[in-house]
Structure 1
Amino acid sequence: MDTNKTILDMIKRKLVVSCQALPEEPLHSPFIMGRMSYAAYLGGASGIRANSVEDIQEIKKHVNLPIIGIIKQVYKGSDVFITPTQKEVDALYQEGVDMIAMDATDRIRPDGSTISELFPGLRAKYKDQLFMADCSTYEEAVRAAELGFDCVGTTLCGYTKATKDKSLPNFELVEKLVTTLSIPVIAEGGISTPEELRKLFDLGIYSAVVGSIITRPMEITKKFVRAIL
């Protein structure tokens, strides 16, 4: 049985929920993320995206769903912080995460390399590992597919200098990707309503990751407060 195909099949046309909280957020805790993932599972989520080995270990205690794992690590002098170096990839692989997501933008990484220089070695080292490319532009996604990533996500559109003015979700980018690439396209970033999610699936995405609007109550509260200021 092809385990990787099975994992991809489990999230096909399904919702993945991102359960993350950064150190400065009140819900930052592996225990809380474990319960958050269980709530997402009860709500019908078919996969979880999680940050850090500690959170992933706790989440595994509560749900038996495919996990897209990342490690957010800030390095001085680089804007790349989603699984930025081989160190973070090694840690996620050792944990046994189903899929590893990496920043696949064209930005310079903490070690001075580009994704085109870093990823081929990782692909060769971890032949059996699923990798997701977190991209911000069409060109980055095309390159990621050429490099051997198993799927591409629109995760970083709107969060890089080149795309900071893009409205989210970026339906135009999604449509262009699904009509061009032969590997799965995962919509992620700025999905705030069920209607937006439905439209993305109608455009032909393979899967979608929804995070903040489900799992970040502080940010949700801020939106409501700004509406009445």
Structure 2
Amino acid sequence: MMNKSFPPGLESLAGGLVVSCQAPSDSPLHNPMVIAAMAQAAVIQGAVGVRIDSPAHVAAVRNLVSVPIIGLWKQVSPDYPVYITPRFDQAEAVALAGADIIAIDATQRPRPEDLGYLITQIQDVLGKPVMADIDTEEAAQIAADLGVDCVGTTLFGYTELTGQEKPPAWDLLTKLVKTMTIPVICEGGISSPTMARQALDLGANCVVVGTDITGIDLKVQAYLRAMCLT
């Protein structure tokens, strides 16, 4: 297996657990202080990093933790399906709020700004590494060729090309581990500690878990559906 190193300052992510601390916009949890408390609790318990959405939430988390923050800004648009940090000005806002690495949608879908331009601007102007959230092996390779610092299986199962699939992206992860020369992060669908261990055993350089740890709203909905109460 190739020795794949995270960029300087992010070495602590290797082999560890990153907790995604996010909440639906209509949830009481969608409050910077609540998100920051989630992130702090995760770090106290051993998370090596956190993944945070929006400048306000990133800034609140930055005040409480010193571990690397994977920052992003979800922006839903009627014109483009790409919604994870689709534009440079959004990446800039997240970086200024305190993110250490910027996550972007790197799928091959229509987007408001050229992917190569976005990656270069983040790295050269902001001086921040880029995490490419991808859905397919082809998208991962294109992003790697454009110079991203790591790729994540984040969008597998959530795009037109992969919507018929259900994460975790075990097969995709296995392929990327063999072909990528940059770190591969397993994200999406990890719903148990056993699954997180499996991701590492398959060669993931890091594992991101969100809903199963911090997704109270979605977890309660799932319980109610299983109990036939909704």
Kept after mapping to 1: 8 A contact 2:52/2:72? yes
Compare the two structures and name the one with the higher helix fraction.
1
1:83 shift after superposition: 0.3
8 Å CA contact 1:107, 1:114 repeated in 2: no
State yes or no: 1:52 paired with 2:54: yes
1:221 offset after TM fit, Å?
A: 1.1
**Greater displacement, 87-96 / 74-83:** 87-96
Query: Whole-Å Cα distance in 2 between the matches of residues 95 and 8 of structure 1?
Result: 17
Q: Does 1:115 align with 2:115?
A: yes
Structure 2 unmatched runs, 5+: 1-5
Q: Indicate if the aligned counterparts of 1:105 and 1:135 stay in contact, CA closer than 8 A.
A: yes
CA contact (8 A) 2:58 2:98 kept: no
SS in 2 for 1:187: strand
Identity of aligned residues (%): 41
TM-score calculated relative to the size of structure 2:
0.92
Residues 199-214 of structure 1: pairs in structure 2 closer than 5 A = 199-214=198-213
> Please, what is the CA RMSD of the aligned residues?
1.5
Greater RCO, CA 8 A, separation 6+: 2
Deviations 1:164-191 (A, max 9, x none): 1112101000000001000000000110
Q: Take 1:153 and 1:222, find their aligned partners in 2: how far apart are those partners? A: 27
CA distance in 2, matches of 1:58, 1:122: 22
1:144 corresponds in structure 2 to 143
Q: 2:216 corresponds to which residue?
A: 217
Q: Secondary structure in 1 aligned to 2:67? A: coil
Deviation at 1:211, TM superposition (A): 0.3
Equivalent in the alignment of 2:14: 12
Q: Matches of residues 15-26 of structure 1 in structure 2 within 5 Å?
A: 15-26=17-28
Per-residue deviation, 1:73: 1.2
After TM superposition, give the deviation of residue 204 of structure 1 in Å.
0.8
Distance (Å, rounded) in 1 between the aligned partners of 2:49 and 2:8: 13
Give, in whole Å, the separation in 1 of the partners of 2:102 and 2:168. 23
Q: 1:187 to 1:125 in 2, by over 3 A?
A: same
Q: Deviations over 1:146-177 (max 9, x none)?
A: 00000000000011111111121010000000
Matched, 1:125 2:150: no
Question: Structure 2: how far apart are the matches of 1:173 and 1:62?
Answer: 35
| Structure 1 segments unaligned to the other structure (5+ residues) | none
TM-score (norm 1): 0.92
